[in-house]
Amino acid sequence: MKKLVSAGEILVEIMAESIGQSFLEPGPLAGPFPSGAPAIFIGQAAALGQPAGLIGAVGGDDFGQLNIDRLSALGADVSAIAVREGHATGTAFVAYRTDASRHFVFNIRNSAAGLLEMDDAAKRLLAGADHVHVMGSSLFSDRATDVALAAIAAVKAKSGTVSFDPNIRREIMQASGTRQALDHVLAQTDVFLPSGNELFLFSSASDEQAAVRELLGRGISCIVLKKGADGATYHDRKGTLAMPGFVVEEVDPTGAGDCFGAAFVSFWLRGASPADA
């Protein structure tokens, strides 16, 4: 079975317990929960039985151990997760607004998460990889971007494949060089996994079908447009397949897109049909 690898932020998530709760005053919080978009992705893939490993860094603290323990329990390869003593594991505090949007307070760039590197352990992990998954949120610094691009180069050199979830964060887009990094990743992408209007960030088109045609024309093999409660739409050069969402009671939307992407990519790597994936 093909092995997939991702690289990026590992953190804990701490959530406001009430909708409309603000971080401008004290309030009840829930957590810590192991998190970070690439960590959620790799954990979900491993839970589905896909060989999967993560390149990243955590602090030598309880939050870091929480993440390593969780990924290990799910069956993920944690050999390339470095423990940076003297540095704190990354954090994300999340508040839920009444309009269903979320407000984040991140500590990623200046935490242990910002100290990931292409060390010997990372190179060994990539030596056995067939596929690399990139999260746009993981391009949060020049250092992190260099690791992601090196991972892509290593896998592509072996005729491997790349999936890309833009996972755009306002804080990330404000960083110098982020746009260029996103475009570079897209140029190497086989499976593109945007959510909603993220599709149009990479196209000059103003409607879905035109944007899809433009992106497929650049060499992307398939596009899976995530639409939240409305499901997802699969596009490739042979046609389009729209699938409805499942009716569920939402507990917490955090990581839903990451889990969806991990499931799709895992089954795509196994040769499943778009409908089955």
Q: What is the DSSP letter of 254?
A: T
pLDDT exceeds 70 at position 175: no
- What are the helix and strand counts (H, E) for the chain? 8, 13
* pLDDT tens-place string over residues 101-158: 888 999 999 999 999 999 999 999 999 999 999 999 999 889 999 999 999 999 999 9
Q: Which residues contact 252 (CB under 8 A, 6 or more apart)?
A: 15
The single-letter DSSP state of residue 244 is P
Closest CA to 11 of 75, 78, 96, 68: 68
Give SS3 for 230: helix
Res 170: pLDDT: 58
**What's the whole-number average pLDDT of the chain?**
93
Domains and their CATH numbers in the chain: 4-269 (3.40.1190.20)
* 208 has a pLDDT exceeding 70: yes
Q: What is the full DSSP assignment across 10-75?
A: -EEEEEESSTT--TTS---EEEEEEE-HHHHHHHHHHHTT--EEEEEEEESSHHHHHHHHHHHHHT
Contact indicator for 104, 254 with CB cutoff of 8 Å: no
**177 pLDDT above the threshold of 70:** yes
Tally of residues, the chain: 277
Asked whether residue 172 carries a pLDDT value surpassing 90, the answer given is: no
